[in-house]
Amino acid sequence: MKIKFLGIFTVSRRQFELIEAFFFVFFFSLTIFFFVYQFPEYVSDPYVLYHARFLKYAALIATFLTVIEYQYVVSKLINSQKEIIEQQNVQLKNQKEEILKQKEEIAAQRDLAQQQYELIAEQKKSIMDSLHYASTIQRAILPEYEDILRDLDYFIFYRPKEVVSGDFYWFYRRDNGRIIIAAADCTGHGVPGAFMSLLGITYLNDIMAKTADDVMPDEILNQLRERVIKAFHSTNGEEEPKDGMDIAIYILEPDLRTLHFAGANNPLYIVRRADLHTLPEESKQVRVRVEQNLALIDLRADKMPIGRFRNMRPFSRQTIKIYQDDLLYTFSDGIVDQFGGTYGKRFGSSNFKKLLLSIANLPISEQKQAIERAVDSWMQQNPDLKIEQVDDMLVVGVKIVR
């Protein structure tokens, strides 16, 4: 702390104390000197004696003034420090009150956060209970396929991304023995996709109830598209609605050894023995991939969805001969679009075709587990990426056994 000495010089407290001590010792020494000193008898000049007495009392007064000044300055300094301490105490008191107030606010916010957490947890439980119930309803509305596919070997790989799914499979058997099989991928996943899947299954069942036994898959898709567009009133909007689905559907005529296929963006893959059976000629709609003694026949779909599309036209139909032990695969794009591997890339159509060719010699009952292992291995290949499932997954595999 700085102190004004004689109102002129600014010194520290330590310097001030040293200066005051010096003056006190100096004046006190003069006082003792003048009070003790006796002038010689030969000094009789009144003027000298007068000044001697004056200096004696002046030194005494200076000593007292030095003490008084020191006491005054120190007292003032102590009062100043006291005021500072009181101000600091007031500040500390205010800070304490502010801290207590903040503590109360934090406690209130914590209680509110806890209440909100409990409310969210309760709402989440309610939503999850509803979703699980919706999943039960969705699975209940999916067709009972054991009787429909009784003359075939088959598997269904069905892995929703969430509790409910936007992918669905659908089977139907006509009285004339024709078997209709479809695999569809609706817009979105989760609840929106699930509602669309329920709509698609309902429409397909209604179409079957109102059409002749010899209805073809392209006709089914045309009617399904009309109903979906009508349901969403997608007519005059400036933006094209995105609601709809991609679907692959085919009809088996076992007695005629014939398959009829139509697709909206989703193809049909057929794997057969290339060394035993005839392969179709390649065209714009048919691609053939041969590896060793196996061939994968890619029946390509029309590049338009079930829904409003800018260049809508009637769906096309492809008819192909089928043979015993042919393997038929319909699927959604969930596996193809799944990220994974070392660098987090898409699985891709090429890898999916390789996968189907690699498992073709397995019993159909084991192919589902082989696909599950392949998908899990792809997603977990690089644990650092922490890859999650990106979409619903569906593969329906059917084997012609006779």
Residues 155 and 127 in one domain: no
- Report which DSSP code applies to 315: P
Q: Give the three-class secondary structure for 157.
A: strand
72: CB partners within 8 A, 6+ apart? none
Residues 178 and 59 in one domain: no
Quick one: pLDDT at residue 144? 72
Is 282's pLDDT higher than 60?
yes
Residues 79 and 57 in one domain: yes
What distance in Å separates the CA atoms of residue 281 and residue 54, rounded to the nearest whole number?
140
Quick one: pLDDT at residue 236? 47
Higher pLDDT, 76 or 288: 288
224: CB partners within 8 A, 6+ apart? 200, 203, 204, 207, 247, 306
Residues 225 and 329 in one domain: yes
* AA letter at 112: L
Distances (CA, A) of 18 to 25, 64, 66: 11, 17, 12
Pair of tokens at residue 272: 């057969």
Residues 219 and 236 in one domain: yes
Q: At what angle do helices 348-359 and 364-380 cross, to 10 degrees?
A: 140
Residues 6 and 115 in one domain: yes
Using pLDDT thresholds of 50, 70 and 90, give the confidence band for residue 180.
very high
Domain that holds residue 291: 144-399
What is the pTM assigned to this prediction?
A: 0.70
Residues 167 and 260 in one domain: yes
Q: Give the three-class secondary structure for 67.
A: helix
| Of 116, 141, 166, the domain-final residue | 141
Site of tokens 């060793």 = 292
What distance in Å separates the CA atoms of residue 190 and residue 161, rounded to the nearest whole number?
7
Assess contact for 297 and 270: CB atoms under 8 A. Answer: yes
Q: pLDDT tens digits for 236-264?
A: 444 555 678 999 999 999 888 999 999 99
Q: Which helix (H) or strand (E) holds 375?
A: helix 364-380
Residues 115 and 186 in one domain: no
Pair of tokens at residue 236: 């005059």
Q: How many domains does the chain have?
A: 2
| Of 141, 176, 197, the domain-final residue | 141
Q: pLDDT tens digits for 198-213?
A: 889 999 999 999 999 9
Residues 75 and 104 in one domain: yes
| Of 101, 126, 141, the domain-final residue | 141
Is 6's pLDDT higher than 80?
no
Distances (CA, A) of 91 to 31, 86, 99: 49, 8, 12
Pair of tokens at residue 224: 């399904």
Residues 245 and 362 in one domain: yes
Q: How many CB atoms lie within 10 A of CB 263?
A: 29
User: Domain containing 177 — which CATH number?
Assistant: 3.60.40.10
Using pLDDT thresholds of 50, 70 and 90, give the confidence band for residue 193.
confident
What distance in Å separates the CA atoms of residue 300 and residue 259, rounded to the nearest whole number?
14
What distance in Å separates the CA atoms of residue 158 and residue 368, rounded to the nearest whole number?
9
Q: pLDDT tens digits for 98-156?
A: 999 999 899 889 988 888 888 888 877 776 666 666 666 656 666 677 777 888 899 99
Residues 119 and 177 in one domain: no
Residues 20 and 168 in one domain: no
Pair of tokens at residue 80: 């100043």
